């Protein structure tokens, strides 16, 4: 494993941890991707009104702890792989 691969695993791991710590950020990204994919399929605007969440609604969502654990696990695995292969 080279330094570039270690840096990539650290950046992705830290990104996952950040997604889990900022309230509602993960849900905002999911909603944005869903809107974008619907617009590409020509389904926007749909016949059913979509509930628009306000920013305050996003702040009240629970934080996905599994995402932080996944990010920490990725950082640990990348670091251990770098240490034992060099």
What is the rounded CA–CA span in Å between residue 74 and residue 11? 10
Question: Is-contact 26 20, C-beta < 8 A?
Answer: yes
What is the rounded CA–CA span in Å between residue 21 and residue 15? 10
pLDDT for res 51: 58
What is the rounded CA–CA span in Å between residue 16 and residue 68? 6
Q: What is the pLDDT along the chain (86 residues), one digit of tens a residue?
A: 688 999 999 999 999 998 888 877 878 888 888 877 777 766 555 555 555 656 567 777 777 888 899 999 999 999 999 999 87
């Amino acid at each position: 494993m080279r330094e570039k691969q270690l840096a990539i695993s650290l950046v992705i791991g830290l990104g996952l941890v950040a997604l889990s710590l900022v309230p509602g950020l993960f849900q905002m990204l999911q909603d944005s991707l869903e809107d974008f994919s619907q617009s590409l399929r020509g389904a926007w605007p749909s016949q059913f009104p979509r509930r628009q969440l306000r920013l305050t609604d996003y702040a009240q969502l629970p934080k996905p702890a599994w995402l932080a654990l996944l990010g920490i696990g990725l950082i640990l695995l990348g670091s251990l792989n770098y240490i034992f292969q060099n």
